Amino acid sequence: MADLGKPQNTIAVLQKYNFNFQKKFGQNFLVDMRVLDKIITAAEITETDFVLEIGPGIGTMTQYLCEHAREVVAVEIDRNLIPILADTLGGYQNVEVLHDDILKVDIGRLAQERNQGNPIKVVANLPYYITTPIVMGLFESHVPIESITIMVQKEVAERMQAEPGTKDYGALSLAVQYYAKPEVVAYVPPNCFIPRPKVGSAVVRLTKHREKTVQAQDEGLMFQIIRASFNQRRKTLVNGLHNAPGLALGKEQVASALEKLGISPNVRGEALTLGQFAELSNLLGKGKA
């Protein structure tokens, strides 16, 4: 089958099947060979790898993955794409397409059966509104993951890799960085897709930490504190946490914990590093016990 990274080949497939794009599935198909190559390089796909692809569309990225990986499983929700994928991937023996919603797939079992339980690489270009829940769901579950290389809205990529004190830094930065090291590997303008999306995109590689880089005794509490800090971004941390309904923390308690950490009581949440949020939650958790 012809390389779908070339726009004319994608157009020919869409015409052959008289394909109707479904808005609800966020269908924008990538047509740029350089971006496709960059994704393969960034994801470090090699012939020993098992790769899970989420949302293969007409199989463009899948073709590239099949060329480089040992085995590929691609999960696609749209039944109209299944016969197309059988056609565009017909030449490959190392791929299986599952017609399913990724949110319903037992990914842990796939890793067990196809990769002897070893960490898998995930590659995805999904509707942007489900990207964050899927990424966080994968990290929070006990599925063995090595890396997730994913196309996201440009602003989301920037928020994922933002550092403390910057405008993009927030709960998403901290949630992602707790589990993984994010790196933007390519910016992808709308003209690299058919049809063109309204927003700019970026490919981000999230490499899962082998060991946690910070020690939070109660992850749930740490993330509650993080969310509360950024819900009231303009307030000092002491006021922000005191006002947070679910936390029941006194101003004095927060101020004294900050003092123990050598942090000013007037600090705003956006200045704290992940390590400082972990230490703060450890101190405040002790106060609660």
Which of 3, 101, 113, 219 is the binder for ligand SAM (CB under 6 A)? 101
Q: Virtual CA dihedral for 186, 192, 198, 200, nearest 10 degrees?
A: 10
3-class state of residue 180 by DSSP: strand
Choose one: 41-49, 95-103, 258-266, 281-289; the region binding ligand SAM (CB under 6 A): 95-103
d(CA 289, CA 278): 16
Cα 23-29-32 angle, rounded to 5 deg: 155
| Of the candidate residues 6, 14, 26, 41, the single one contacting ligand SAM (CB under 6 A) | 26
The CA-based diameter of the chain, rounded to the nearest angstrom, is 68
149 sits near ligand SAM (criterion: CB under 6 A): no
| Interaction pattern, residues 30-59, with ligand SAM; x per rule: CB under 6 A | x-----------------------xxxx--
Given candidates 35, 40, 61, 89, which one binds ligand SAM under the rule CB under 6 A?
61
> Counting contacts by CB under 6 A, is residue 78 touching ligand SAM?
yes
Half-sphere exposure (Cβ direction) of 204: Cα atoms closer than 13 Å: 26
Among 127, 137, 265, 285, which residue interacts with ligand SAM (rule: CB under 6 A)?
127
For helices 60-68 and 33-42, angle between their N-to-C axes, nearest 10 degrees: 50
> CA-based angle 204:210:212, to the nearest 5?
95
> Which residue's CB atom is positioned nearest to ligand SAM?
55
First-to-final CA distance of the chain: 62
Build a one-symbol-per-residue string for 128-147: x at contacts with ligand SAM by CB under 6 A, - elsewhere. --x-----------------
The correct pick among 13, 19, 27, 145 for binding ligand SAM (CB under 6 A) is 27
Binding positions for ligand SAM, rule: CB under 6 A: 25-30, 54-57, 60-61, 75-78, 81, 101-103, 125-127, 130
